[in-house]
Amino acid sequence: MKLVVLVCLAASAVARPQFRYENPRHIAILRDNRVDHGDGNFQYEFETENGIYQNVVGRPGQSGGQTMDGSFRFPLDDGTIADFQFVANENGYQVQSPVIPTPHPLPAHAAEQVAFAEQERARGARWDELGRRIARST
């Protein structure tokens, strides 16, 4: 039994990822501006020499929370820049970017079914958790 435990420990030690940082490079910060008004309004912006950038503006939200919007970007391994714009508020975090995959549009027949269901729901139709109609539309 002890031999099995010893072999398992040895195998996990050999299999662990080996991280080697040869010649780590210092990345200079080109810009770092921060403003905090103390009333929930703030702004910060920073940029590094390797292309990382972020700009965020925050203000008190309508329902007592915080609302923020801004943008950030960073270089990808292929040399292109990934650019993002976002809003974070009472509706959650919403980000937009050309690098975020988007779903394919619904086929025409599926879009028709969704529109039909919305029309039925607007007329008072209801369904149970199994999808069976429990209230007829009038």
pLDDT in tens, 62-85: 878 889 999 999 999 898 999 999
pLDDT of residue 74: 94
Q: Are 67 and 58 in contact (CB under 8 A)?
A: yes
Residue position matching structure tokens 């109609």:
133
For residue 7, name the pLDDT band (cuts at 50, 70, 90). Answer: low
Between CA 128 and CA 137 the distance in angstroms is: 15
Q: What percentage of the chain carries pLDDT values higher than 90?
A: 43
Residue 8 scores a pLDDT above 70: no
pLDDT of residue 13: 65
Domain-wise residue ranges, the chain = 25-96, 103-138
Residue 100 scores a pLDDT above 80: yes
Q: pTM here?
A: 0.58
Q: Across the beta sheet with 66-75, what order do the strands follow?
A: 29-36, 42-48, 53-60, 66-75, 81-89, 92-96
